[in-house]
């Protein structure tokens, strides 16, 4: 029975070691996933912070765009007011019967905008450039006629100066708008990267939980095996103690019997050897 219990204990000990090794492997794997998750979460925060910075810069540039547009529009409005005065003078004096400079300038601006922003064929672009040249020539022709009048010459120069200032500001509007768009694109890209790393972090966390739960299950099995081993140790220890006690009792009986035989010989007159004396002492007969 004792040998059977010892064999069973060996089997449980082997199972215990297997569960311990699996637990340690799974804990190491869980730690790896936890590190990956933490790194990805940190990366996500960095992307979000970078996106927020670009959002703030975009908004700042958009505010500048609006402010510059207001300033540009003010110069254009003042220039248009002068052109209206010039058109009124033309009508009053009947010097020019074609379209007014204000209208021509608007057409030129519209066509130049199309040329800069639209994707058109080479033929269409050449046609557009020719029309712009014709309109500018018409403007110069009208301006030349108007400049013959001193008062109109002054007004024309004032209108040109205002248009020039509006044009310079418009260039800054375009520059700020492009910067705003750049930061907007960067913001969108950062948020896209943040979403991607957040998804990867969630997946790493799922794997961490899965590995940790598996490690906990192996640990519980290891603890259960350890309890079984302690129970087996108690039973085996008890059996060994009982077996040892039984063996000692048998040996004591054998010694007692031999000692009594020697003692009877001693009483009969035989001399005792040293071993005989020790035997009698062990049996407590002397």
Q: What is the pLDDT of residues 137-184, one digit of tens each?
A: 887 877 777 777 778 788 888 988 998 999 899 889 989 999 999 999
Task: Please give the Cα distance from 254 to 232 (Å, whole number).
Answer: 33
Domain ranges of the chain: 2-223
226 or 112, higher pLDDT? 226
Please give the structure tokens belonging to residue 73. Answer: 């529009």
* CA atoms of 169 and 156, how far apart (whole Å): 20
Total count of residues recorded for the chain: 286
Q: How far apart are CA 253 and CA 8, in angstroms?
A: 34
What is the per-residue pLDDT for 95? 55
Burial status of residue 118 (CB atoms within 10 A of its CB: 0-12, 13-18, 19 or more): exposed
| Number of neighbours of residue 60 by Cβ within 10 angstroms | 14
CA distance 255 to 85: 145
Res 281: pLDDT:
73
CA 284 to centroid of chain Cα atoms = 86
The pair of structure tokens assigned to 91 is 């009508």
Confidence of residue 1 (pLDDT cuts 50, 70, 90): low
For residue 71, CA distances in Å to 14, 165, 285 come to: 85, 10, 129
Q: How confident is the model at residue 279 (pLDDT cuts 50, 70, 90)?
A: low
Distance CA 71, CA 66 (A): 9
Q: How confident is the model at residue 212 (pLDDT cuts 50, 70, 90)?
A: very high
The token duo for 113 is 């905008």
Q: What H or E segment, with its residue span, contains residue 156?
A: helix 150-267
Q: What is the pTM of this model?
A: 0.60
Of residues 73, 81, 82, 79, the one with CA closest to residue 169: 73
Rounded to the nearest integer, the mean pLDDT of the chain is 85
**CB neighbourhood size of 66 (10 A):** 12
The pLDDT tens digits of the residues spanning 220-267 come to 999 999 998 988 888 877 777 766 655 555 666 777 777 777 767 766
* pLDDT band, residue 37 (cuts 50/70/90): very high
CA–CA separation, 286 and 275 (whole Å): 13
**Rounded to whole angstroms, how far apart are CA atoms 6 and 179?**
81
pLDDT recorded at residue 107 = 84
Following CA atoms 152, 153, 158, 159 in sequence, which dihedral angle do they give, to the nearest 10 degrees?
70
Distance between CA 121 and CA 98 in Å, rounded? 31
**pLDDT higher than 60, residue 208:** yes
Contact 19, 221 (CB under 8 A): yes
What integer pLDDT is reported at residue 86 of this predicted model?
82
Q: What pLDDT sits at residue 263?
A: 66
What local confidence, expressed as pLDDT, does residue 233 receive?
A: 84
């Amino acid at each position: 029975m004792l040998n059977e219990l010892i064999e069973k204990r060996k089997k449980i000990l082997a199972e215990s070691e297997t569960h311990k090794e699996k637990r340690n492997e799974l804990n190491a794997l869980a730690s790896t996933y936890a590190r990956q998750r933490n790194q990805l979460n940190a990366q996500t925060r960095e992307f979000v912070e970078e996106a927020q910075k670009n959002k703030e810069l975009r908004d700042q540039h958009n505010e500048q765009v609006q402010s510059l547009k207001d300033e540009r529009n003010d110069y254009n409005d003042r220039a248009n007011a002068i052109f209206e005065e010039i058109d009124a003078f033309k009508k009053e004096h009947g010097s020019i019967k074609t379209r007014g400079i204000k209208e021509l300038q608007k057409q030129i601006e519209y066509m130049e905008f199309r040329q800069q922003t639209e994707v058109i064929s080479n033929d269409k672009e050449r046609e557009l450039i020719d029309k712009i040249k014709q309109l500018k020539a018409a403007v110069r022709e009208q301006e030349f006629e108007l400049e013959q009048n001193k008062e109109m010459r002054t007004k024309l120069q004032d209108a040109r100066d205002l248009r020039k200032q509006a044009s310079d500001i418009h260039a800054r509007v375009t520059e700020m708008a492009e910067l705003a768009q750049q930061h907007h694109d960067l913001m969108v890209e950062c948020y896209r990267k943040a979403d991607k790393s957040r998804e990867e972090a969630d997946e790493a966390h799922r794997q961490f939980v899965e590995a940790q739960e598996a490690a906990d299950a192996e640990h519980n099995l290891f603890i259960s095996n350890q309890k079984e081993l302690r129970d087996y140790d108690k039973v085996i220890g008890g059996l060994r103690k009982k077996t040892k006690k039984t063996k000692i009792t048998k040996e004591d009986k054998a010694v007692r019997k031999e000692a009594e035989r020697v003692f009877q010989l001693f009483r009969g007159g035989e001399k005792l050897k040293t071993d005989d004396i020790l035997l009698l002492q062990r049996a407590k007969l002397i």
